[in-house]
Amino acid sequence: MRKHATFVYSNALLGYHFHEDHPFNQKRVLLSKELLENKNTLEESDIVFPRSATDEELALFHSWEYIEAVKKASSGSLEEHEGIAYGLGTEDTPIFNQMHEAASNLVGGTLTAVDQVLEGKSKQALHLGGGLHHGFQQRAAGFCIYNDGAVAIKYIREKYDLKVLYVDTDAHHGDGVQWAFYDDPNVCTFSIHETGRYLFPGTGDINERGIREGYGYSFNLPIDAFTQDESFIEVYETALKEITEYFQPDIILTQNGADGHCFDPLTHLCGTMKIYEIIPMMAQEMANQYTNGKWIALGGGGYDMWRVAPRAWAQVWNVMKTGKPAEGTLPYEWVEKWESQAPVELPKYWHDVIDAIPTIPRKKEITEKNKQTLNALLKHTRQNVKQ
């Protein structure tokens, strides 16, 4: 029997762990899963265990030379100077034991989600362990060893021959996926992110539009630092609707970074949980309208792992499973279990309370600037339609 939604998870996903002080901590995935279980929207029958990606699958995007370097790093046999050339052993992406196996599990989880949907076992699928969008063909970057999104899109193109719309709402530009398909007219990438003037990786300008046959299929919406909910939602909804209508995808793949929240320690956007209700609702609306519901969602960034990532990611599943985000108080059992371990006071509600939201004196200026950026993006889109 075909399920409406599949949740891809196993404890093996928690093995992607650099060190205790590193901001990228996959315990976020466990916190999200248990929040959903306590909410009673995630049941055992919803969960599918991920497989590990094969080397041949990794090589759909990554070079064999790079894969071998990651394997050597995993066993401690990669020289320091060799590692730096591959982005391994840096402050962002330090080497850890069995990193090849751990990263292959994340990629395999995303491929499991793809097959669940495209083999007709499930209408939609969520893999919170994925979304590592900064990995390049032969270089790690930004906490990302293998780029599961890029591998998955290559896999979809080769195995299923479908047009893929990739939507990235991480506060950091989805650079690795964009460059992987920069010349491919069958893959449309759309990233809304904090402007690269202030934030890693420094790319994602509105004029990055693709090359050769892929020209006109790369879209970037760089929004200003300190952007709040109203402006984010306005420009995002407008752009997503127009881009989806323009591209007419067969399947939608979303990367759901949760680092655009005002609590996030690594970015400068000032969103609240409101944007993390709208993002999955919009993804589902577009999927229902254009792809017969086929939607695969991944995790991504999100560095307030106690207050933000579990709620934001849980809302993706809530929308998939029930058609709407959760409201009201968080499950008491979840708060009680984790509050003794958390270094901050845990939230009590799915939404943010008003006194948690900062006042931004430049709000009007930021909103107008984001509208100008949106208008420039839509001008490009409309020119493409005319052509």
Q: What is the 3-state secondary structure (H, E, C) of 280-312?
A: HHHHHHHHHHHCCCCEEEECCCCCCCCCCHHHH
> Residue 4 is inside which H or E element, if any?
strand 3-8
Judge whether 261 counts as a catalytic residue. no
Instruction: Assess contact for 312 and 302: CB atoms under 8 A.
Output: yes
How many whole angstroms from its chain centre is CA 48? 20
Spatial distance between the Cα atoms of 151 and 177, rounded to a whole number of angstroms: 9
Q: Which among 134, 193, 261, 351 is annotated as catalytic?
A: 134
Spatial distance between the Cα atoms of 98 and 74, rounded to a whole number of angstroms: 4
Give whole-number Cα distances, 103 to 13, 18, 151, 197, in Å. 9, 11, 12, 30
Helices 309-322 & 27-39 angle (0-180, nearest 10): 50
Token pair of 293 as six digits: 């519901």
Tell me the DSSP string of 217-267: -EEEEEEPTT--HHHHHHHHHHHHHHHHHHH--SEEEEE-----BTT-SS-
> Which SS3 state, helix, strand or coil, does residue 142 take?
coil
Spatial distance between the Cα atoms of 123 and 22, rounded to a whole number of angstroms: 35
Instruction: Name the residues annotated as catalytic.
Output: 134
